[in-house]
Structure 1
Amino acid sequence: MKTKTFTVLLFAFVLTFNINAQTIPFSTGRIVISSDGNEHDHDDWAATPFSLALLAAKGLQDCLTVYTFSDHIWGSNHDHENAQKEMQISALEGQKIFHFNHTNFIEAVADSTKAIQAIVKEIDRSKKEDPLTIIAAGPMQVVGSALAKADQAKLKFVRIISHHSWNDNHADKPNKWEQHSGWTWNEIKSSFESKGLICDRISNQNGGDDYDGMKAPIERFDWIKTSPIREQSAEVKKQLDWLYSRQLTCIKKGDFDPSDAGMIIYLLTGKQKTNPEDAKAIIENPVK
């Protein structure tokens, strides 16, 4: 009997935390994205533009309060010599093209303290009526540092989303030529989940046995070039042309790889097993 009572109380405790934090699909509150792209995998060169396009289609520009990009804060340009510059293009041109006029875009590798503090500020202003969702699309160091510095009483109003083990673990698993350590996904869970933080680890957006993911053959993205919405205005055509041009920066064995943008599809729809057609449905049916 005591065991059953304890189980019920524990469930009620967790449920109380969960109803305070951001819901899926997105309904209210704010969004923070932290991505890398300045070192190692260059998928963020394609994923950042796609993430911005998806949020813009839903009219959520003002909900994205902070975007920290190039958050591999231990260095840039080793695996791809122009990686930091490519991320500046994807993030800062994307900001202008999709009208994220009030979003604070911060290059984390250039000023990690500023990036971390910006996320701390967003966590600290969170409340039941204005929760926060953090999309963790890079190593966990920047986000983990922000969670540690923030008001711990606010974590029950925060959800963090991740999808890939590389991002989850890279801080403590550097390449042979690197030396660094830092926050990992499991450390974030063990440190903050008991305080109400929702740690939402979704399916790998590179695909799986029974779903395609957002890393998919190039032809699956042809709709960006042919969609009827291109005829709506010169601006829409310009946006889609730019979006496609950024996909061309990350081709892997015949695939485009905007995989991290699958987390935005999940945020907007609740669907974890995504594909390029999910992105098409969102972008071709924008909020009026």
Structure 2
Amino acid sequence: MKIPIYASVIILMFLLPKSLIAQALGYNNNRIAISADGNNQADFHPEARWPRADPDDWGGTPVALSLIAKLSKQDKLVHFSYNNFIAAPKHTSETNYMADGVNGAITRWNYDASRFFDVPENPETAIKHLASEISKSTAQDPLYFIHMGPSEFFYLSIKHVIENGNIEALNHVYVISHSGYNDNHLRRKSHHTMNQAIILSENRIKYKKIKDQNACNIPDKLWCSGTNFTPFHWMRDHNDEGIQWLYSRLHFHPDKRGADVSDAGMVYYLLLGDEDGNLTKLKSLFNNGILEKKKVEEKNGLLVFEAERFNIKGKWKLGFHSSASSGKFIYYDGANAYEKPDVKNKISYTFKINTPGNYTVKWVMRQPKDERGTDKGNDAYVYLSDDIGFAGSHNLTQYEKFYGRSQNDFVLNGVAEVKTDHKWLTAKFKKPGEYTINLIGRSHGLQIDRIVMFKDLTLEQVESQIKEITETSK
């Protein structure tokens, strides 16, 4: 619930390289604390202006946590409280969207769960924990506080610090806000504003209000596009499951206005020194995912990579099952395309070969449940860039059918079909370097777990080796 203002945006190519070395308010790998609202359990107290919080935190919190993880500062986040309406009820009959988002981030990006607090569950514990982190603050170890909810929670923590004789620590506390609503909203008449918290500190706290991070009517600026999810579609189509998950967190707003992660703009400002952050810049920052994986490389004549490394888009989707490597696989959810390839459903991945030679190309695949053992849901179109693919004597200069067959388990197989010939697929790598494999969906439901290439090894040896590893890298 913030008042939108419009802000100009500097062109990404000029701004982002500077941002990566610029951090705000003297931030230099210091401690971070965040407190957000997001309460969904209704608080019907007569003094509460609205019974629930603005649902923007349901998406903004996961994006904020993904930013911190992307910049490898999980250990610097020393406190995160959420659902921070003071005197509000616990979530007993409504979905706790904040807890779902927080727990998903903790699991995906290796946060310390002991630093996260659902405030209505135990307000006093959460308040004292933030107070303890504030009390540690010195000139050499300042605390940067991101203000994502009403001020009363922060005020009570400041009061606790002072009552325990640690008022001088407040000289080294920096507060970042972007919302007059959060600064001034009172859930009860007895509650306090941010200005009152600063006065309580005897003006020791350093306060910075950046520009409002909303520009919902101008989707290419800042962090909000209201009901228009188009600026967020890159999240939906990304091959990083965590980024796809971010997109899924936007779709719980009761008025379908979940395309708003504006509070994450404060984290972007703190860590990158840019209060004109936006979704285009975030896309660039997240290009290689949140927690970047090592580049896949061939090792000792074997190359293995997980299918979710493909740039998943079009009708390709990410699936989950315990029998897949790392519990994930991709599947083709489009209509059968037996007549010709549809490039809208093309996915690609580039890998590195260190030892040149002729490599057999296979995949670890499975057919959809009702079609296992049949000729349905079992094939895709394949093409190895630069015409390096061969099926027998046939040089693959275009996309050709590649198929397998399975029962209940993912299995290593794969045969190329060119005209009426059925041959194993070979990639001829003439020199070390990077190469690209491309797939296009052909039959609905096909599931792919991994891609495997090998030379000077038998199929049985490869089957044994890939049981011990998920991917190959140097």
Q: TM-score, normalised on structure 1? A: 0.78
Alignment of 1:50-61 (within 5 A): 50-61=63-74
Instruction: Give, in angstroms, the shift of residue 181 of structure 1.
Output: 2.9
CA distance in 2, matches of 1:254, 1:119: 31
Q: Which residue of 2 aligns with 1:184?
A: 193
CA distance in 1, matches of 2:282, 2:116: 23
AA in 1 matched with 2:273: G
AA in 1 matched with 2:86: I
Q: Which residue of 2 aligns with 1:90?
A: 101
Alignment of 1:27-176 (within 5 A): 27-38=28-39, 39-76=52-89, 82=94, 85-101=96-112, 104-150=115-161, 151-171=166-186, 174=187
AA in 2 matched with 1:214: W
Instruction: Give, in angstroms, the shift of residue 252 of structure 1.
Output: 5.4
Instruction: State the identity %.
Output: 29
CA distance in 1, matches of 2:269, 2:255: 23
Structure of larger gyration radius:
2
CA distance in 1, matches of 2:285, 2:198: 31
AA in 1 matched with 2:54: D
Contact 1:67 1:103 in 2 (8 A): no
Alignment CA distance shift 1:44-1:76 (3 Å): farther
Q: Deviations over 1:73-119 (max 9, x none)?
A: 232589xx735x11110112221122113651111122111111011
AA in 2 matched with 1:66: H
Q: Report the 3-state secondary structure (helix = DSSP H, G, I; strand = E; otherwise coil) of the residue aligned with 1:247.
A: coil
Alignment CA distance shift 1:256-1:208 (3 Å): closer
AA in 2 matched with 1:131: P
CA RMSD of aligned residues (A): 2.6
CA distance in 2, matches of 1:25, 1:225: 35
Contact 2:24 2:271 in 1 (8 A): no
Contact 2:35 2:80 in 1 (8 A): yes
Instruction: Give, in angstroms, the shift of residue 254 of structure 1.
Output: 5.7
CA distance in 1, matches of 2:258, 2:230: 8
CA distance in 1, matches of 2:104, 2:59: 13
Equivalent of residue 208 in structure 2, options 200, 207, 226: 200
Q: Which residue of 2 aligns with 1:6?
A: none
Q: Which residue of 2 aligns with 1:16?
A: none
Contact 1:46 1:250 in 2 (8 A): no
AA in 1 matched with 2:170: L
CA distance in 2, matches of 1:73, 1:239: 31
CA distance in 1, matches of 2:25, 2:223: 19
Q: Which residue of 2 aligns with 1:245?
A: 248
Alignment CA distance shift 1:180-1:114 (3 Å): farther
4+ aligned runs moved over 3 Å, structure 1: 22-26, 208-211, 250-255, 285-288
Q: Report the 3-state secondary structure (helix = DSSP H, G, I; strand = E; otherwise coil) of the residue aligned with 2:213.
A: coil
Q: Deviations over 1:30-69 (max 9, x none)?
A: 0011001013211111111101111000001000011111
Q: As a proportion of its length, which structure holds more helix? A: 1
CA distance in 2, matches of 1:181, 1:260: 26
Contact 1:25 1:270 in 2 (8 A): no
CA distance in 2, matches of 1:209, 1:156: 39
Point out the more displaced range, 62-71 or 179-188.
179-188
Instruction: Give, in angstroms, the shift of residue 180 of structure 1.
Output: 4.4
AA in 2 matched with 1:280: K
Aligned residue pairs total 249
Q: As a proportion of its length, which structure holds more strand? A: 2
